[in-house]
Amino acid sequence: MLDAAAIGLAQATALWPGISRSGAVLAASRARGFSRRSAGRISAALAVPVVGGATVLKVVRLAKRVREGSIAPASLAPLCAVTVTSAASGLVAAPIARRTLDGLPLAPFAAYRTALAAVLLWTDRRWATVPERPL
């Protein structure tokens, strides 16, 4: 039960921008003692309802906008083509990425992500400025 709670909480952190849902689930699974392979399977299994739910939500919102006339029905064909192409490339890339990462340590990737985040925060320091208040 604690494993499920920890992994679920980690998945919820992906609601914050910049947090990878799969990365959070992988990290939590590994922290709870799961093997790399098991952590990968958990992450993949948890992606199904998340991606499925997001897809249904987007389709419902898109249908509403088409009914309202804010999106032309003719623009749906290219959108469908892009969606199918994206899904197909993801299905092809996933097993390749899994095989590639199976034997490699993830610490260098974590260090790269941390360094990249630090550089981005340093170069875009708008987060550190306090907005002026009008008098």
Would you kindly state where each structural domain of the chain is located, as residue ranges? 2-119
Q: If pLDDT is split at 50, 70 and 90, which confidence band does 85 have?
A: very high
Q: Which structure tokens are listed for 120?
A: 């981005």
* AA identity, residue 110: A
Q: Which residue has 């952590």 as its token pair? A: 39
Query: CA-CA distance, 94 to 89, in Å (whole number)?
Result: 8
pLDDT tens for 35-76 read 988 998 899 899 999 889 999 999 999 999 999 988 888 888
Query: What predicted TM-score, i.e. pTM, was given to this entire model?
Result: 0.65
Residue 103 to residues 22, 26, 99, Cα–Cα distance (Å): 18, 15, 8
